[in-house]
Amino acid sequence: MVPTGKKGGSPSRPRPRLPVTVRPVRASDLDEVVRQRLAVLRDMRYASAPALRRYVPRFRRWFRRELGAGRLWGVLAESAEGRAVGGGLVWLQPRPPSPRFPQQVGPYLFSVFTDPDRRGRGVATRVVRALVKTARERGYPRIELHATESGRGVYERLGFAATTQMRLTLRPARRSRRSSGAGASGGRSRGLS
Ligand SMILES: CC(C)(COP(=O)(O)OP(=O)(O)OC[C@H]1O[C@@H](n2cnc3c(N)ncnc32)[C@H](O)[C@@H]1OP(=O)(O)O)[C@@H](O)C(=O)NCCC(=O)NCCS
């Protein structure tokens, strides 16, 4: 999805906004970022438990490297007690040269998450706004993501719209032999989210 400025979704606001502070992710937030990343993937039933366990050290290495190189940024939403209740990440994906845009990377928004007991109170909306603001300030012409069902409304209200992207699955995702596969999405077509 890319933002178009068009507003969609439900205008109703049945619950008061949760007071949170949205601040940049630091290298020392890695444990919290991993907690949120796993929660998103579990919520999506994206991979089996053993696959997620193998994924964690790879993600931790990748996060440290990309954050250090300036190719990754993110925010955490903290409650009044200073506890992280949500967050999101943006990664600069390599892009081929474009006749329209000078940058050969494009921001990709993913891992947007709010703790289940804090949802529906505008936390993700503020997280996404903050991430989009940074992308805009850094001069990127657009920002992309793959939306889950629960995230779609948040993004649409902020102006994101579906694009022409298509995908052909060439090989189903590997399934763990130790796992029955329960909860894993197997070859289903998904984005990074
Ligand atoms: C998707 C997810 C991040 C949304 O988090 P959230 O904090 O509940 O999101 P928000 O509160 O900003 O918005 C959710 C809904 O609450 C509504 N809402 C209620 N009170 C609100 C308020 N005070 N301010 C803003 N929105 C409010 C919004 O209208 C929105 O409704 P909509 O989806 O019909 O448009 C959360 O459900 C989640 O973590 N899901 C699992 C992981 C996931 O799917 N992540 C997305 C990856 S793409």
Instruction: Give the end-to-end CA distance of the chain in Å, rounded to a whole number.
Output: 11
CATH of domain 2-9+20-161: 3.40.630.30
| pLDDT at residue 12 tops 70 | no
Tokens 């996060």 locate to 63
Per-residue confidence at 59, pLDDT binned at 50, 70, 90?
very high
Distance 114 CA to ligand 1 centre (A): 8
Atom of ligand 1 nearest to the CA of 18: 23
Mutate-to-test residue for ligand 1 from 22, 119, 158, highest number of ligand atoms within 8 A of CB: 119
What distance in angstroms lies between residue 169's CA and the mean position of ligand 1's atoms?
29
**Does the pLDDT at position 183 exceed 80?**
no
What is the residue with the minimal CA distance to atom 23 of ligand 1?
Answer: 17
Q: Is the pLDDT of residue 192 over 80?
A: no
Domain assignments of the chain as residue spans, ordered by start: 2-9+20-161
